[in-house]
Amino acid sequence: MRLPLLASLASAVLLSACASIYGGPARVSDGVFVGPNGMTLYTFDRDTMASGKSSCNGQCAANWPPLMAGPGDSGMGDWSVVVRDDGSRQWAYRGKPVYYWVRDAKPGDRTGDGVNNVWRLARP
Protein backbone atom coordinates (compact mmCIF):
# COMPACT_ATOMS: atom_id res chain seq x y z
CA MET A 1 0.00 0.00 0.00
CA ARG A 2 2.87 2.40 0.73
CA LEU A 3 4.66 1.62 -2.55
CA PRO A 4 1.99 3.22 -4.82
CA LEU A 5 1.90 6.28 -2.55
CA LEU A 6 5.69 6.62 -2.64
CA ALA A 7 5.74 6.13 -6.41
CA SER A 8 3.07 8.80 -6.84
CA LEU A 9 4.95 11.20 -4.58
CA ALA A 10 8.22 10.56 -6.42
CA SER A 11 6.50 11.21 -9.76
CA ALA A 12 5.10 14.51 -8.51
CA VAL A 13 8.50 15.63 -7.25
CA LEU A 14 10.16 14.64 -10.53
CA LEU A 15 7.55 16.48 -12.62
CA SER A 16 7.91 19.56 -10.45
CA ALA A 17 11.69 19.48 -10.82
CA CYS A 18 11.40 19.06 -14.59
CA ALA A 19 8.94 21.95 -14.80
CA SER A 20 11.35 24.26 -13.01
CA ILE A 21 14.31 23.13 -15.12
CA TYR A 22 12.49 22.97 -18.45
CA GLY A 23 11.35 26.45 -19.33
CA GLY A 24 9.70 25.50 -22.60
CA PRO A 25 10.70 24.81 -26.18
CA ALA A 26 12.91 27.90 -26.46
CA ARG A 27 15.48 29.68 -24.35
CA VAL A 28 16.33 33.34 -23.88
CA SER A 29 19.51 34.71 -25.46
CA ASP A 30 20.33 38.42 -25.30
CA GLY A 31 16.75 39.26 -24.35
CA VAL A 32 14.96 37.32 -27.11
CA PHE A 33 13.75 33.78 -27.53
CA VAL A 34 15.78 31.40 -29.65
CA GLY A 35 14.80 27.92 -30.74
CA PRO A 36 16.69 24.71 -29.93
CA ASN A 37 18.94 25.43 -32.93
CA GLY A 38 19.93 28.82 -31.46
CA MET A 39 18.07 30.78 -34.16
CA THR A 40 16.00 33.85 -33.28
CA LEU A 41 12.23 33.47 -32.90
CA TYR A 42 9.59 36.01 -33.97
CA THR A 43 5.91 36.77 -33.50
CA PHE A 44 3.45 37.87 -36.19
CA ASP A 45 1.17 40.85 -35.45
CA ARG A 46 -1.64 39.27 -37.50
CA ASP A 47 -1.84 36.28 -35.15
CA THR A 48 -4.65 36.78 -32.67
CA MET A 49 -3.42 36.12 -29.15
CA ALA A 50 -4.92 32.97 -27.58
CA SER A 51 -6.89 32.09 -30.73
CA GLY A 52 -5.27 28.66 -30.76
CA LYS A 53 -4.16 28.99 -34.38
CA SER A 54 -1.61 30.57 -36.68
CA SER A 55 -2.39 33.13 -39.38
CA CYS A 56 0.86 32.40 -41.21
CA ASN A 57 0.36 29.48 -43.60
CA GLY A 58 1.40 28.53 -47.13
CA GLN A 59 4.03 30.88 -48.59
CA CYS A 60 4.08 32.84 -45.36
CA ALA A 61 5.14 29.70 -43.45
CA ALA A 62 7.76 28.95 -46.11
CA ASN A 63 9.41 32.29 -45.27
CA TRP A 64 8.57 32.16 -41.57
CA PRO A 65 8.87 28.50 -40.51
CA PRO A 66 6.95 27.75 -37.32
CA LEU A 67 8.65 26.43 -34.21
CA MET A 68 7.01 23.04 -34.48
CA ALA A 69 5.71 21.03 -31.53
CA GLY A 70 5.80 17.26 -31.54
CA PRO A 71 2.73 15.03 -31.25
CA GLY A 72 3.32 14.40 -27.54
CA ASP A 73 4.19 17.99 -26.61
CA SER A 74 1.83 19.96 -24.42
CA GLY A 75 1.90 23.42 -22.96
CA MET A 76 3.75 24.38 -19.81
CA GLY A 77 3.71 27.74 -18.08
CA ASP A 78 3.51 30.52 -20.68
CA TRP A 79 4.04 28.03 -23.53
CA SER A 80 1.12 26.41 -25.33
CA VAL A 81 0.59 24.45 -28.53
CA VAL A 82 -1.60 25.70 -31.39
CA VAL A 83 -2.90 23.63 -34.29
CA ARG A 84 -2.01 24.92 -37.74
CA ASP A 85 -4.29 24.84 -40.81
CA ASP A 86 -2.53 21.69 -42.06
CA GLY A 87 -3.08 19.93 -38.72
CA SER A 88 0.54 20.23 -37.59
CA ARG A 89 1.32 21.67 -34.17
CA GLN A 90 3.25 24.82 -33.33
CA TRP A 91 4.56 26.36 -30.12
CA ALA A 92 3.10 29.65 -28.89
CA TYR A 93 4.33 31.95 -26.13
CA ARG A 94 1.58 33.65 -24.13
CA GLY A 95 -0.85 32.69 -26.87
CA LYS A 96 1.23 34.05 -29.78
CA PRO A 97 2.69 31.46 -32.19
CA VAL A 98 6.45 31.77 -32.71
CA TYR A 99 8.41 31.47 -35.96
CA TYR A 100 11.89 31.47 -37.44
CA TRP A 101 12.87 33.74 -40.38
CA VAL A 102 14.49 32.06 -43.39
CA ARG A 103 16.85 34.97 -43.99
CA ASP A 104 18.51 34.61 -40.58
CA ALA A 105 21.67 32.75 -41.56
CA LYS A 106 23.26 32.04 -38.18
CA PRO A 107 22.46 32.11 -34.47
CA GLY A 108 22.27 35.69 -33.26
CA ASP A 109 20.90 37.07 -36.54
CA ARG A 110 17.78 39.21 -36.04
CA THR A 111 17.07 40.35 -39.58
CA GLY A 112 13.35 39.59 -39.36
CA ASP A 113 12.52 42.21 -36.74
CA GLY A 114 10.17 44.79 -38.27
CA VAL A 115 9.74 43.05 -41.65
CA ASN A 116 6.62 44.52 -43.29
CA ASN A 117 6.01 46.21 -39.94
CA VAL A 118 4.25 43.04 -38.69
CA TRP A 119 7.09 40.78 -37.50
CA ARG A 120 8.59 41.25 -34.03
CA LEU A 121 11.32 39.63 -32.00
CA ALA A 122 9.79 37.11 -29.59
CA ARG A 123 10.62 38.33 -26.11
CA PRO A 124 9.90 36.95 -22.65
pLDDT reading at 89 higher than 60: yes
Alpha-carbon distance of 100 to 34, in angstroms, equals: 9
pLDDT reading at 7 higher than 70: no
Task: Look at residues 97, 105, 103, 102 and name the one whose alpha carbon lies nearest to residue 122.
Answer: 97
Alpha-carbon distance of 110 to 89, in angstroms, equals: 24
Specify the pTM. 0.81
Q: According to the model, what pLDDT value does residue 23 have?
A: 67
DSSP E strands, 1-118? 27-29, 32-34, 42-44, 68-69, 79-83, 89-93, 96-97
What is the average pLDDT value for the chain, to the nearest integer? 86
pLDDT tens for each residue of 9-41:
333 333 333 333 456 899 999 999 999 999 999
